[in-house]
Amino acid sequence: MLTTKELISLDNHSSSKDEIITQLVELAYKQKKISDLAGFTEAIYRREAEFSTALGMSIAMPHGQSDTVREPFVIFARTEEPIQWDQNQVQLIFMIGVPLANRSDTHMKIIASLSKKLLDESFRQSLLESGIDDALRLMQL
């Protein structure tokens, strides 16, 4: 499972891109998904620098590919209020971590299908309205 209850943060009070990135990286660290806070944070920002992972639809998908990742994971966070993420306002944040080596196609395919599903407005609406149990169910693809 890429997402567990512990990796879901609903009603998140973060008010900026940097704040929520810091917070979610810490969550990944606490849940033992990554071995190094600074190393993974750097991977996230390196990717953001290529082009913003917020491309409309109220979504941001910060992702890091790094050997600091112990096992692939997807954190789902929903902020209480929309926050500014580069050029866009976002409320649904998916932080993805994948290791550089030893990653299975299965996990990569799950992440690919989540990315595709996020284009579906009704899926996004469900994520905006869901409680923790429904959110977890929606994230199990």
Partner 1 sequence: MKIVGVTACPTGIAHTYMAQEALEKKAKEMGHVCHIETQGSIGIENKLSKKEIKEADVVLLAVEVAIEGMERFEGKKIIRKSIGECIANTQGIIFDVIAEVENS
> Minimum CB separation from partner 1 for residue 131, in Å?
25
Contact pick of 111, 127, 135, 139 for partner 1 (by CB under 8 A)? 111
Contact pick of 38, 51, 102, 122 for partner 1 (by CB under 8 A)? 51
CA distances from 54 to 22, 29, 91, 105, 126 (A): 17, 23, 10, 25, 19
Contact assessment for residue 120 and residue 138, using Cβ atoms and an 8 Å cutoff: no
> Minimum CB separation from partner 1 for residue 107, in Å?
9
DSSP symbol at 12: E
Contact assessment for residue 55 and residue 88, using Cβ atoms and an 8 Å cutoff: yes
| Residue 63 bears catalytic tag | yes
Closer residue to partner 1 in complex, CB, 56/131: 56
CA distances from 141 to 68, 110, 112, 119 (A): 25, 7, 10, 14
> Minimum CB separation from partner 1 for residue 53, in Å?
8
**Residues carrying an active site annotation:** 63
Interface with partner 1 (CB under 8 A): 47, 50-53, 55-56, 61, 63, 65, 96, 98, 103, 105, 108-109, 111-116, 118-119
